[in-house]
Amino acid sequence: MLYCAYAGIKPDFGLYSVKKIKEVIEEGIGAPALIQCSKGPFNKFQLYQIYVCVAEDAKTFVECPSPRKPYTCGDDILFHPFKKWMLKTNSTKSYAAADAIDQLLEAVMEI
């Protein structure tokens, strides 16, 4: 996500080009990413997941195999901040993971 932050793509409820997000990630890690969307507010697609794949050496990013069922996104997608209330569970482990995600996103946005 650091690469996206440098390119001005951040979780701020803005609409961003899927093509631009993919280009920025590929430029940053040297391999293409898969973008998965879901239906969001106002009938817009929203960023749901970003998939990146790693080679067997666990150090090198590689192109991911195509998903069995293609992911559907619009040309522009909504990128909103992650919040704890979005979790489907209220377990302590889930909230600890959410705290870690919050800290990572805050650190990335400061750079």
pLDDT, one tens digit per residue, over 23-32 is: 999 998 999 9
Question: Above 80 in pLDDT, residue 13?
Answer: yes
Q: Which residues pair with 62 in a beta bridge?
A: 53
Give the pLDDT confidence of 42-94 residue by residue, as tens digits.
Answer: 888 999 889 999 999 999 999 999 888 888 899 999 988 877 666 666 556 55
Q: Which long-range contacts (CB under 8 A, 24 or more apart) does 21-24 make?
A: 21/47, 21/50, 21/77
Whole-number pLDDT of residue 108: 46
- 58 phi/psi in degrees, rounded to 5: 60, 20
Identify the H or E element spanning 105.
Answer: helix 92-110
The stretch 93-97 carries a mean pLDDT of 61
Provide the whole-model pTM. Answer: 0.69
